[in-house]
Structure 1
Amino acid sequence: MNAATNEYLKQKFSDYYQKAIIDTPTALEQREWGFIFFDQSAEVRMKRHVAFSTRDEVENYIKSMIPRHVYYSTAYYALPSAGTMQDKIWSGADLIFDLDADHIVRGSYDEMLERVKEETLKIIDMLTHELGFSQKDINLVFSGGRGYHLHIKNLEVRGWTSAERREIVDYVCGTGLDPEIMLRERKSMEIKGWPARYRNSIIEYLQALRKSERDEAIKKISSIKGIGKDSADDFLKSSGGLINRLKKPEKKIIINRVLRAIVTQEESGFAEILKEKAALTDEPVTTDIKRLIRMPGSLHGGSGFRVLNISIKELESFDPLIDAVFFGENPIKINAAFGLTMPILGNKYSVEKGINSVPEALGVFLCARGIAEYAGGGKK
């Protein structure tokens, strides 16, 4: 980013913060704050160990310093401004789930946003229908970048250690599932949660085998270590009956040598089907009890979009490329590093490599992403 682009973005962020409503977190005086500035030196990337006592102090600091990124701690400290983590005296932390499209799928920015929304809906369903949380327990935040943050601030989870948080991450991610437990017979006719997802994944796997050419199906099964062609052929012949038993939770599933190899060995391809049923959250964020998280109401320095609190009911209709955009349609000139097409503010724009006149909202985004440099105001 050249000096002109840096100064342009800093001015636009200043314009925003003079008008913005700052959403300070609960227990404000117990939070550590961190900031990355437009004029940050290479030696000191983030200024942290900052604490505030009131909302006015936060607002005045942000308006005067114009940070590029604003973070506060998910943890609660007795002395949040202390210079070392030990001296802060940790007293608990919110439970956080971070869903970032960059960890889930590659593609255009708008495609990534759509995909990460699916994962966010999936994890909310797990938390509320399987893990005992209510929607009222969950604060949902669009990160301003490529995903969503879920904050759970219940007193019951605040004191959880990293190990306890790891257990809930393992659940939503489907880590370490035991085939014997997943496939045991159930007294209830209704099967839910991971046992249901596990059975459905096997059914999906078997149905794909049965739809393929017989020789190809046998070749795929026999390519798994320890499975010969005769065993693969016999298994394929019995797969229809296995599918029917899997659909009936009260039926005992015998895990023979071939089925065990399919569900446990990576080369079978079963793990990829099962992974699609998991909620692909960023695991280190949830297990970290001293994490910094983006502040709702701030601007994301890598996009220029707002970090927004949204309700769970709003999520399906929420469009970050409209609802999280602050800057408007006044034209500016940019020098793009390469050509691209992108939707924003309800319109789709094509940008060519070199000088382009684009709406300010798109220009800020491309400059913040490092895709373009600011080249002045007005039309081309």
Structure 2
Amino acid sequence: MPEDVFVKTRRFLENITRTYYRKIMPIIPKDFMLREFAAQTWHGKSYIRHMSFHSIEEIRKFLIEKAPRHFYFSSARYNEPEAPSMDQKGWRSSDLVFDIDADHLPECKEKVVEINIDDEKVKLVDDECIEKAAFRAIILKDILVYELGIDKNSISVEFSGNRGFHVTAYLDDSHDLARSSSDVRREIVNYIKAVDIDEKTLMPWTKLSTRSKPMPILPSFNEAGIRGRIARIMYRLAHQRKLKSIANKILLQKDLSKYDEVFEELEHEARQYISVEIDEQVSIDVSRLIRAPLSLHGKSLLPVKPLSEEELEKFRMTPRLSPFINEEPIRVRILADIPQIRILGNRIRFRKNDRPRLDAPLALYFLSKGLALLV
């Protein structure tokens, strides 16, 4: 295939990225002058590192000029963020960051497709798995707020733009957790993943009724640790299924005897979610680069989208996630066999060298992953 087709495709992706950044500015932390920035362009695999900016306008100019495929800032704050080595930067503190990838969910192992293109693996994850990962993000935020005592207003949850969710606790420079070491962060990870949890803690507590019949004691929102987590997950599950009456009774700990069977089902299912599948290496790294919210993810051309709790509960993978939904359809050449899978709400299946005319969000998704070229 002519080399100029690859060049033409990369140039097209770069131009559409530039068009996006002319209209949209990513969300940048107020303390951005203490953070390192990094980017990767559409013309190579290497990263531009150790950048710092002194104004938002300077960042905007960079984005329009470079139209980067990926754009990051550090979770850490430094005295000298532009210094060329980590030792010279002078680490001050770091936010708590968490990454939930849908392909790591135990129920999604059969819904992940790996395709080899030029000795590189491209991973596709079915929409259903990403939508299930949204529920894990809700549970994680609850853990941070109700179990670790982090102010909910400092926590941002975002669709990563690809196959999962980012949860970031933006902490003040002087916050104890912000200054915590990797070892402390590893303990937080183990707690969130319920590592080495005592099985006795998970056993249903019981009491005797007036007829000396054992009755379950509902886990309470106010309980510390895993039992409180179970109560909140039960509430979330009931709310998710529009069982509002039962959700309120769980929340208020009131008149549960009439709902024994439903209560038992909810508690049993809630126990399956107490361990949240997060990427350990992301969370223990005190100098992690994280994607700027509202920046484009270069492997989907979908934005890193901040989500309210209500949006997270209703999250669905649809073409409306794309800022290019109103663009004209694009004809592409498919570079590999793609088995049946649901992507952006579309049930698709392609053979190598197919030339479908796709709606812009789906076409850009495959072009940016390297699974297609412009025709």
On whether the aligned pair clears a TM of 0.5, the verdict is yes
2:293 maps to which residue?
A: 296
| Matched letter for residue 317 of structure 1 | K
2:99 maps to which residue?
A: 98
Deviations 1:241-273 (A, max 9, x none): xxxxxx9xxxxxxxxxxxxxxxxxxxxxxxxx9
**2 CA distance for matches of 1:312 and 1:26?**
23
Q: How does 1:150-169 map to 2 (within 5 A)?
A: 150-155=167-172, 156=175, 157-169=177-189
| Matched letter for residue 160 of structure 1 | S
SS class of match (1:2) = helix
**Larger CA deviation: 289-298 vs 353-362:** 353-362
Q: How does 1:201-240 map to 2 (within 5 A)?
A: none
Give how far 1:4 is off: 2.4
Query: Does the CA-based 8 Å contact 2:201-2:226 persist in structure 1?
Result: no
SS class of match (2:138) = helix
Percent identity over the alignment is: 30
**2 CA distance for matches of 1:306 and 1:90?**
29
Give how far 1:172 is off: 0.8
Give how far 1:32 is off: 0.2
Deviations 1:52-78 (A, max 9, x none): 011000000010011100010000001
2:372 maps to which residue?
A: 372
In structure 2, relative to structure 1, the CA distance for the partners of 1:177 and 1:362 (3 Å cut) is same
Deviations 1:192-248 (A, max 9, x none): 5425789xxxxxxxxxxxxxxxxxxxxxxxxxxxxxxxxxxxxxxxxxxxxxxxx9x
In structure 2, relative to structure 1, the CA distance for the partners of 1:87 and 1:143 (3 Å cut) is same
Query: Does the CA-based 8 Å contact 1:140-1:150 persist in structure 2?
Result: yes
1:361 maps to which residue?
A: 361
1:333 maps to which residue?
A: 331
Give how far 1:135 is off: 2.3
**1 CA distance for matches of 2:317 and 2:272?**
26
Query: Does the CA-based 8 Å contact 2:204-2:217 persist in structure 1?
Result: no
| Matched letter for residue 323 of structure 2 | F
2:190 maps to which residue?
A: 170
TM-score by length of 1: 0.71
Q: Choose from 37, 40, 48 the match for 2:41.
A: 37
Whether 1:194 aligns to 2:191 is no
Query: Does the CA-based 8 Å contact 1:24-1:295 persist in structure 2?
Result: yes
Query: Does the CA-based 8 Å contact 1:21-1:297 persist in structure 2?
Result: yes
**2 CA distance for matches of 1:284 and 1:77?**
20
**1 CA distance for matches of 2:272 and 2:193?**
8
TM-score by length of 2: 0.72
Instruction: Work out the number of aligned pairs and report it.
Output: 302
**2 CA distance for matches of 1:78 and 1:172?**
31
**2 CA distance for matches of 1:275 and 1:189?**
19
Give how far 1:128 is off: 2.4
**2 CA distance for matches of 1:286 and 1:338?**
35
Structure 1 unaligned spans of 5+: 199-246, 248-272, 376-380
